[in-house]
């Protein structure tokens, strides 16, 4: 039915979909690992299909790493604030769980932006909401990207291949 390479690739792709909702786990890399395992050791995947999966996987990785920062930066949040917020979210993840990521991101951006001389409470609140919303939106985007890789693998490699 399925060989070991196919099972490994499927396991990595499913793990990527699950990891897309877990902060700090590179879902794009997991998905790419599954695709490349199939390409290198499987029954033969077309080069165009590998290239397509690679583009989607790299996009998922970029969105995962920089989505929240890009959204915060679009509202004027500094790079330093964004970096500190990401660290605070990661630390609070281990203390409070997934809610800690949201609280860490929001609270850090709000407090650090409020400390800037040119920021009002409303501006700081708005920047914190944008950064946190961007992080959530990037999580949804990563989920959709790696889920599309799983679906593409199922269709083009398992069913049609």
Q: What are the CA-CA distances from residue 30 to residues 58, 60, 105, 131, 142 (Å)? A: 11, 11, 25, 25, 12
The model carries a pTM of: 0.83
Predicted confidence at residue 1, as pLDDT, reads 62
Instruction: Report residue 67's pLDDT band, with 50, 70 and 90 as the boundaries.
Output: confident
Residue whose C-alpha is closest to residue 124's, from 108, 136, 137, 138: 108
pLDDT digit string, tens, across residues 51-63:
999 999 999 999 9
Q: Answer yes or no: are the C-beta atoms of 138 and 64 closer than 8 Å.
A: yes
On the CB side of 23, how many CA atoms lie within 13 Å of its CA?
26
Predicted confidence at residue 116, as pLDDT, reads 83
Predicted confidence at residue 107, as pLDDT, reads 94
């Amino acid at each position: 039915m399925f060989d070991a390479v196919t099972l490994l690739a499927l396991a990595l792709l499913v793990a990527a979909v699950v990891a897309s909702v877990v902060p700090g786990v590179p879902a794009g890399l997991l998905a790419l690992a599954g695709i490349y395992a199939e390409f290198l050791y499987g029954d033969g995947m077309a080069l165009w299909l590998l290239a397509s999966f690679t583009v989607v996987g790299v996009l998922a990785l970029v969105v995962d790493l920089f989505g929240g920062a890009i959204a915060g930066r679009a509202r004027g949040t500094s790079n330093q604030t964004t970096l500190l917020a990401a660290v605070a979210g990661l630390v609070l993840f281990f203390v409070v769980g997934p809610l800690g990521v949201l609280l860490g991101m929001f609270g850090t951006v709000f407090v650090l932006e409020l400390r800037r001389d040119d920021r009002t409470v409303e501006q700081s609140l708005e920047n914190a909401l944008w950064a946190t919303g961007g992080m959530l939106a990037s999580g949804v985007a990563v989920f959709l990207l790696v889920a599309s890789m799983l679906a593409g693998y199922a269709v083009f490699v398992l069913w049609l291949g």
